[in-house]
A and B are shown apart, each in its own frame.
Chain A
Amino acid sequence: MIAVNDKGYYGEFGGAYIPEMLHPNVEELQRCYLEISEDQEFQKEFRGLLKDYVGRPSPLYLAERLSEHYGMTIYLKREDLNHTGAHKINNTIGQILMAKRLGKTRIIAETGAGQHGVATATVCALMGIECIVYMGAIDIERQAPNVSRMRMLGAEVRPALSGSQTLKDATNEAIRDWISNPVDTHYIIGSVVGPHPYPDMVARFQSVISEEMKWQLEEHTGSSHPSGIIACVGGGSNAAGAYYHYLNDPEVRLVAVEAAGHGIDSGHSAATSVLGTKGIIHGSRTLLMQTPDGQIVEPYSISAGLDYPGIGPLHAHLIDSGRAEAISITDEAALKAAFFLARKEGIIPALETAHAFAALDHLEYNADDVFIVCLSGRGDKDLSTYIKHFDQLG
């Protein structure tokens, strides 16, 4: 049975390695998250917003031209069609409702590319709650349109000036804010990372993805069981949601696609399952990229949503135990896959998601296999990167 235990561990991964200053907040969440999220009134409000505000269920689409090219059946789970353009909103809707029930009046979040920041700013606007988003100073430069979106939605974007000024430092700054504001503030973490109960709580809010897949695939094919599910993994929240209801069904292959950046051995990569070793990052015992002395290494990927030096503890457990297979995809292969999907299916994917599509070239499969690719986000935010590569790939 693959599930988190009451101390927050998946096998040897997980836990809550947090300073005592965070204990009351985290302990409160640990104590309350299941009771609150399983409450009928909560579920009614959560489901209602997912349907009417986010636009769920997201379609499960048979990609015929892609299927023909690869010689098997490929379905796409269209999380790109959600409000704000990615799966991230499933989690922020759940967490803002959680925060309200915990009586919190102030929200903080971290963001890398800005997608989670936008999804958080969106739900805070919806609920009329103060929102502060920490973002690496370098990412603020790189992702200007998303910074403007957050500001238009009424959020304050605070630059993380410490360390390498990217996602991991934005996370550190958010944690520090939480330490300094322990009573009124809820921290909306954007992925299945961080101390227990975040990995499990976020996975549960994202699990609507695989919940829908089951009945949608049954409608399409008469069986709710695909041969496998392919999803990109940075921290791993869309993958956790896409795997969730199939975790204990060993017949369904789980394929985790990581960013190889310039290549696994290039020194510029984010392939945590290959390059990472066991350690602790942001309160969780997991796999992470670090020096032999335990200093956390800055990862690299062309996709800002995948350049996180760790991986959620669920994924560390799935990969370490052999339940999930990991594939790493270079920047170049991801770019090619994005252009290929655009021309084959008329869908421009996010750069993160493009990695999942590139994995189709590296997968072993049979002609009668049915695979689902989690199309986690749309590519509008990556247009400037795509335009730069038009001459080579367009």
Chain B
Amino acid sequence: MAEGLLPAIAYLRPKTINMNRLDQLFAEKQSNLLNIYFTAGYPALEDTTTIIAALAKAGVDLIEIGMPYSDPMADGPTIQESGMQALKNGMTLETLFGQVADVRAQTDVPLVLMGYFNQVMQYGEQAFVDRCVAVGIDGVILPDLPIFEYETFYRQMFEDAGLHVSFLITPQTSEDRIRKIDDLTRGFIYMVSDSSITGAKSGISDRQLAYFNRINAMQLEHPRLIGFGISNHETYAIACRYAQGAIIGSAFIKALAETTDLEGTIAEFVQMVRGEVAV
């Protein structure tokens, strides 16, 4: 890891000396990790903090917060629609940072931001990184930031700040490239379960299992969380058999869309996924 290689300038910047919460989590727990995705500012603008607190209370291991975007090309209709609603609700990145800062007083659950690189560019790359660290964000997922651009322009900035970046791998990603991604990733690798956008399919095929086995055999340095197509206890359990954990997004957003009792629904949803109650 790069700690020993940090340039002197890094020590001049106010920087948390605590271990990144993602590293702490993965040091303590290597299996059955549950990462739930939701869109900030949805269903209502102020729901962000309620949802984070309820997810933490329900015992999810980490939370992925979607930064709503007008043109989310890697996401399916469920996440896009929730993002459109959040934008209509008035969500901005600055509002989101404020909400995260508020909720950090209540929970130490690792928090990861997911969004598109244009949002980071417009906020200012360094300003974004600094603000993430200041409010207690532990990692980011920026699916349209390619590893070439990351390594060339931004790696130092993120690593100096201790803000983790997770990269994606898919069934089509070559072995060389997976090794490279394992080298660049901090925190966890986001393993896309199939050739698809989020929320596309349900159920897991033999072809996917072969892919999970192939990646398992590579003995990567970083833990892998399987996302896309994970929606219930059955798919979560399969993902946990082949990786350290799973990511659920669209299915959770659908559950939020249909409820008037956020906290109750969230507790039930997490229990359902963990298999702690009969469905």
Contacts and interface: CB of A to CB of B under 8 A. Distances in A.
Given A20-B167, A280-B144, A176 B117 contact: no
Nearest to B71: A296
Nearest to B181: A20
A163 interface: yes
Contacts of B117: 17, 280
Contacts, number: 109
17 contacts: A7-B148, A17-B144, A18-B144, A19-B144, A20-B167, A21-B197, A23-B172, A23-B173, A176-B76, A180-B197, A183-B195, A277-B122, A281-B71, A290-B122, A292-B122, A294-B123, A295-B70
Given A163-B70, A163-B80, 8 more contacts: A16-B146, A18-B146, A19-B144, A21-B170, A21-B172, A279-B118, A282-B71, A290-B118
Given A17-B117, A182-B172, A162 B70 contact: no
Interface string A162-197: 110000110010011001111100000000000000
Nearest to B149: A15
A211 to B, nearest CB: 32
A393 B205 CA distance: 63
Given A176-B73, A179-B74, A281 B118 contact: yes
B196 interface: yes
Most buried by A among B84, B146, B170: B146
A293 interface: yes
A17 B173 contact: no
A19 B73 CA distance: 8
Contacts of A15: 146, 149
B80 A17 contact: no
A293 B115 CA distance: 12
A50 B2 CA distance: 55
A20 B143 contact: yes
Interface residues of B, number: 42
Interface of B: 69-74, 76-77, 80-81, 84, 87, 92-94, 116-123, 143-146, 148-149, 167-170, 172-174, 177, 192, 195-197, 200
Nearest to A176: B197
Contacts of A179: 73-74, 195-197
Interface of A: 7, 15-21, 23-24, 162-163, 168-169, 172, 175-176, 179-183, 277-283, 290, 292-296
B168 A296 contact: no
A182 B196 CA distance: 9
Contacts of A172: 71-73
A31 to B, nearest CB: 12
In the A-B complex, the 9 residue pairs with the smallest Cβ-Cβ separation, listed nearest first, are A294-B122, A20-B168, A19-B74, A280-B118, A19-B143, A24-B172, A294-B119, A295-B70, A296-B70
B119 to A, nearest CB: 4
A21 B168 CA distance: 8
A17 B70 contact: no
Contact of A20 (B70, B118, B173): B173
A182 B143 contact: no
Nearest to A164: B70
B192 A21 contact: yes
A23 B72 CA distance: 17
B84 A163 contact: yes
Contacts of B77: 162
A319 to B, nearest CB: 19
A172 B73 CA distance: 6
A23 B177 CA distance: 10
Contacts of A296: 70-71, 118
A169 B75 CA distance: 13
